[in-house]
Amino acid sequence: MIIEENEFDKQIEDLLNKEKTARLANNLVETLKVTKQIAKLCFDTKQYSKFNELIVQLSKKRGQPKKAQIELVQMAMVELKTLPINQKLEMIDAIMKVCEKKIYLEVEYARCVLMLTQYKEDDNQIADAAKILQEVQVETYGSMDKREKLEFILYQMKIMIKKLDYVRLYIISKKIEPKNIEDDNIADLKIIYYSFLVIYYRHENNYKETAHAYSKILESLHKNKQLEATKVDFNFRIDYNTILENYAMYTILSQYTEEKEKQLQSIVSTYKYGLEALPNLQQLIQAFLGTELISTSPQSHNIQAAEIFDENIENNKQRYVDFRRQLIHHNLRIFQIYYDSVYLNRITELIGISTQELEEEICLMMDQKLLKCKIDRILGIVDYQLKKNENDVLQEWGDNVNKVLNLIDLTSNLIKREEELFL
């Protein structure tokens, strides 16, 4: 439809007069009808600049019904899809002015912010994109669909990773409650969420939490292998074997606790068939669960090809150092099982490290309360039989007395029961 400019201006003026009359008369039906006509006329004549001006103007009119504003914004959102980038950005700006600080238009405002941010991202303006996104608190939007809300928060996390703002990334991640994504209908979003957490915890060298995030991804893949098709940015591989390998390796890298041992046992029992495709990893896990000395040379375990040592992933050298440290710590715990005391040079001979490194690792384990011993440097001995203080001796004596009394009580009850049966 082609209309002369003067004719267009006249029609718009007539429609604005009708809109004013209907609005002041509180005639909702007529107001909606006229505002739609205004929008349609602008769209049909490609007068988008005029529409941007009018939509802001109409939203500020006294007594303008909410329904009329919602209809105008929704019509604009549909028209946006057909516009070239420059006109689209101008209309997005106008819509955001209308929607700002209005609860009944919060979803449309968030969608406009998302479109604007995506343009900024494509244009490599990451800092500007992050600034725009961080002002939107979609977690408080009650009218937004759960999936759309999660996608928006995940996009916020993605932009923070691109910006390398790991502090804000962690803050945004807390907007999502883990229990809220334990739903099979949004399993793909769960995988993306925990993938971003892996990137954060990997940056922080927090091996325990990294392993936990991988376990959640693996849990979803174990239920449905089709989820391997989920696309995650930052070259993050969603592959069953790779995720299983990373889960196991980060568990091994974490500091020794009883929980770590239970996790390794759980991996062996739950993912037994998956480990068959990773024989080197399977042998390594069994070695850590065993009570025998193992080689402290990482190369001997044929695990160098694991993704955690990939040069393209940050802190890969530190993980290599920490892997070797866990091998050493495992061996030192084994010595504690079999020896009351042992010569330092004997330990160094058996596990293949220097005396200085051995002393440093023993001190580190003692500081972390992973080992109870003392080093006699004069004699060159590690003594695992520490002298107990008075409180420990008294506590042990009390425990032993309680055990004896319990046995006497049990025996007495058994004798009494026998007497009642046969006498």
Angle formed at CA 257 by CA 256 and CA 261, multiple of 5 degrees: 90
The rounded distance, in Å, linking the Cα atoms of 34 and 38 is 6
The rounded distance, in Å, linking the Cα atoms of 314 and 336 is 35
Q: Tell me the three state secondary structure of residue 376.
A: strand
Model confidence over 62-88: pLDDT tens digits? 888 999 999 999 999 999 988 998 999
The rounded distance, in Å, linking the Cα atoms of 398 and 400 is 5
Tell me the whole-structure pTM to 2 decimals: 0.83
Average pLDDT over residues 216-230: 91
Q: In which residue are the tokens 């392993």 written?
A: 211
Model confidence over 395-413: pLDDT tens digits? 888 999 999 999 999 999 8
Enter the tokens of residue 267.
């991996």
Angle formed at CA 321 by CA 317 and CA 326, multiple of 5 degrees: 140
Model confidence over 129-154: pLDDT tens digits? 999 888 788 877 777 888 999 999 99
What is the share, in percent, of the chain residues with pLDDT greater than 90?
61
Model confidence over 323-349: pLDDT tens digits? 999 999 999 999 988 888 999 999 999
Whether the predicted pLDDT of 1 surpasses 60: no
The rounded distance, in Å, linking the Cα atoms of 101 and 82 is 27
| Residues ≥6 apart with Cβ < 8 Å to 309 | 303, 316, 319, 320
CB 76 within 8 Å of CB 95: yes
Q: Tell me the three state secondary structure of residue 383.
A: strand
Whether the predicted pLDDT of 394 surpasses 90: no
Of 299, 265, 303, 302, the C-alpha closest to 285 is 265
Enter the tokens of residue 274.
């998956």
Residue 355 to residues 299, 345, 346, 350, 375, Cα–Cα distance (Å) = 21, 7, 10, 12, 12
Q: In which residue are the tokens 């029992």 written?
A: 269
